[in-house]
């Protein structure tokens, strides 16, 4: 493949430059140009080139649900690529063991080849069943305690890159140690645990928190809860910036406290679809009034896309470069992925090109134009 050039305002690891990015054979060859200020970037009609978004929490999109098996992941990868996501983790739901195994078997082939016109599937985020049955959120009621052999058996079906665990369940602290020693990235989530449980889990090797504030014990000045442990000691945590799951003020608090606060969509099959009913694992959920809910009104994932997440952060006052950092770079760092999330020589040519209104104009996945 011959070299391809993109011109405009390009976000390099050192900041914006007005110039050119050249990529070939799926990798960035070089960036060249003159430094530019963010105000210059946003006032110019020239294209804005950012690292492609990385979403570590994707249940579905475009009418397709990860747990449905078949080619669902290919459809959702294409749906999210249209909104600038260039890499993602296909995320499971709590379910009976055989249903999780079937979903992982269907996902496995897509871990080893690109999805035509879609985001790269980096692996699996196993969200459930190893969660607290008292903090299910929208998860079906099939929570279970885990053993190392359980997790390794699932990992043999499809590569688990991230796993959500409630650390207060019996044996789970010891499991976190064992998973850490084997290279798994562990997040705390769907937890009724205390502040002390959270601190102990971090000491054992957990490195992040799943959808901060949601489905965990909240912050109180005499009972700081799991949210308090995240704010006081967390380095990485997911946040769902749809402005429904978390109030903008709470997002601002988390931004001040957690250096590695990164954005996820927690998107469902309803993302990119009209109002109506959709599958979320074993649940039927309803998209209406800008969100997705169970019949009892419980928020059940989202319809968020990462381009809207970026715009929401900017609308809250974050600089565009920081918003990009929290929608791409930090997720790659949390997974230990060195060659994505930054536009630098040698990295994958994963890029999203925006206009001055931050609307998606082009998306490149590993040097291939997908829109």
What's the first-to-final CA gap in the chain, in angstroms? 18
Instruction: Tell me how far apart the alpha carbons of residues 138 and 93 are, in angstroms, rounded to a whole number.
Output: 9
Question: In this predicted model, what pLDDT tens digit does every residue of 164-219 receive, in sequence order?
Answer: 999 999 999 999 999 999 999 999 999 999 999 999 999 999 999 999 999 999 99
Question: In this predicted model, what pLDDT tens digit does every residue of 23-78 receive, in sequence order?
Answer: 999 999 999 999 999 999 999 999 999 999 999 999 999 999 999 999 999 999 99
Domain ranges of the chain: 52-340
DSSP SS3 for 368: strand
What pTM did the predictor assign?
0.98
DSSP SS3 for 366: coil
Instruction: Tell me how far apart the alpha carbons of residues 200 and 281 are, in angstroms, rounded to a whole number.
Output: 31
Interval 357-369 mean pLDDT: 98
Which strand (E) or helix (H) includes residue 201?
Answer: helix 195-204
Which strand (E) or helix (H) includes residue 364?
Answer: strand 360-365
| Residue position matching structure tokens 């909240």 | 218
Query: Does 65 participate in catalysis according to the annotation?
Result: no
Q: Radius of gyration (Cα) for the chain, nearest Å?
A: 20
Catalytic site residue from 55, 65, 197, 266: 266
CATH topology classification for 52-340 = TIM Barrel (3.20.20)
289, pLDDT greater than 90: no
- 141 class by beta-carbon count within 10 Å (0-12 exposed, 13-18 middle, 19+ buried): exposed
- Residue 298 has phi, psi (to 5 degrees) of -65, 130
Question: In this predicted model, what pLDDT tens digit does every residue of 74-116 receive, in sequence order?
Answer: 999 999 999 999 999 999 999 999 999 999 999 999 998 999 9
2, pLDDT greater than 90: no
Output the pLDDT for position 290: 83
């Amino acid at each position: 493949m011959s070299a391809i050039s993109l011109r405009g305002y390009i976000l390099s690891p050192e900041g914006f430059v007005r110039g050119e990015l050249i990529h070939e054979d799926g990798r960035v060859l070089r960036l060249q140009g003159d430094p530019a200020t963010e105000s210059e970037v946003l006032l110019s009609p020239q294209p804005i080139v950012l690292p492609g978004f990385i979403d570590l929490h994707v249940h579905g999109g475009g009418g397709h649900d990860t747990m449905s098996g078949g080619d669902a992941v290919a459809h959702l990868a294409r749906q999210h690529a249209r909104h600038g996501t260039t890499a993602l983790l296909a995320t499971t739901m709590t379910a009976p063991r055989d249903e999780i195994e079937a979903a992982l078997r269907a996902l496995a082939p897509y871990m080893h080849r690109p999805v035509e016109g879609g985001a790269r599937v980096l692996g699996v985020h196993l969200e459930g069943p190893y969660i607290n049955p008292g903090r299910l959120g929208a998860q079906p009621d099939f929570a279970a305690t885990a053993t190392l052999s359980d997790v390794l058996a699932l990992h043999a079906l499809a590569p688990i890159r991230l796993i959500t665990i409630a650390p207060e369940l019996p044996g789970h602290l010891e499991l976190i140690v064992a998973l850490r020693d084997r290279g798994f990235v562990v997040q705390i989530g769907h937890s009724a645990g205390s502040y002390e449980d959270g601190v102990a889990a971090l000491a054992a090797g957990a490195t992040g928190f799943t959808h901060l504030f949601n489905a965990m014990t909240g912050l109180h000045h005499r009972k700081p809860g799991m949210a308090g442990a995240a704010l006081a000691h967390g380095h990485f945590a997911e946040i769902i910036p749809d402005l429904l799951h978390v109030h903008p003020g709470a997002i601002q608090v988390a931004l001040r406290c957690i250096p590695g606060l990164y954005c996820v969509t927690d998107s469902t099959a309803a993302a990119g679809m009209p109002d109506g009913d959709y599958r979320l694992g074993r649940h039927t959920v309803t998209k209406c009034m800008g969100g997705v809910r169970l019949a009892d009104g419980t928020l059940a994932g989202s319809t968020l896309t990462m381009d809207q997440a970026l715009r929401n952060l900017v609308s809250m006052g974050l600089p565009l470069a920081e918003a990009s950092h929290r929608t791409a770079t930090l997720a790659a760092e949390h997974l230990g992925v060195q060659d994505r999330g930054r536009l630098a020589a040698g990295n994958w040519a994963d890029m999203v090109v925006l206009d001055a209104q931050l609307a998606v104009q082009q998306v490149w996945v590993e040097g291939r134009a997908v829109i």
